Amino acid sequence: MVIAGNWKMFKGPAETRAFLEAFEPPEGVDVVICPPTASLHEAARGPLTVYAQNAHWEPEGPYTGEVAPEMLAELGVQGTLVGHSERRQLFGETDEMVARRARAALTAGLGVIACVGETLEQRESGDMGLVLKIQVEAIAYACEGHDYAIAYEPVWAIGTGRTATPQQAQDAHAFVKGIADVPVLYGGSVKPENAEELLSQPSVDGALVGGASLEPGSFHAICEAAVRVSTP
């Protein structure tokens, strides 16, 4: 089971170093941290698996503000997120862009966690299945022949304190797995209080944790919940 912490635009190099000194991952769970770009070098010096939060589809070029997969690999970064809802909602990333980012990262030898999810309006209008199908199929087509993971993150549960019920998470994950036979993580206000119930669902293969990953104690508690769920 994979527990990934997306730090978003939090924790510079000094805070990253302090976190790594305080955090001891429990055995029996694969732990990933996704620091901001400025902290990747510091994080890569530590013992944890490190993913970036995004990567461009070109190895180099006139793309101000972007970072190439090959550059990440040279830093010692093992993978990257792509298609996070904040990238889609705030920065206009399309399904095509997300798919190209994912394929380029995989081709460069990086791991990928590709994010998908519907807005509250799309869920309430009955379009959740269509939205997920389009998003997942774009990624699956671009990444055919590669190993990667998908994170299902309902947009209405990102940073809102709202969380999908365990059954809602299970249903969405089963739907995604029906399109792409890959591990699927749940992301959306995962906290120590709800982690075990969410992770115990049969189609949930881990979690992409936001705010609760910023504190070593709460992130450790979520990792421990994953261990309990995974232990026979």
Three-class DSSP labels, 138-204: HHHHHCCCCCCEEEECCHHHCCCCCCCCHHHHHHHHHHHHCCCCCCEEEECCCCHHHHHHHHCCCCC
Cβ partners under 8 Å of residue 125, min gap 6 = none
Residue 41 is among the residues annotated as catalytic for this protein: no
The whole-number average pLDDT for the span 69-77 is 98
Rounded to the nearest integer, the mean pLDDT of the chain is 96
Domain CATH for 53? 3.20.20.70
Mean pLDDT of 88-95: 95
84 is catalytic: yes
Domain containing 175 equals: 2-230
Percent of the chain with pLDDT over 70: 100
Q: Write the pLDDT tens digit of every residue in 112-133.
A: 999 999 988 898 899 999 999 9
Q: Which of 56, 153, 173, 220 is catalytic?
A: 153
In the chain, how many domains are there? Answer: 1
Best CA proximity match to 82, nearest among 119, 110, 60, 109 = 110
Q: Is the pLDDT of residue 158 over 90?
A: no
Q: Taking the model in full, what pTM does it have?
A: 0.96
Candidates 42, 70, 84, 224; catalytic one? 84
What pLDDT, in 10s, does the model give residues 172-206? 999 999 999 999 999 988 999 999 999 999 999 99
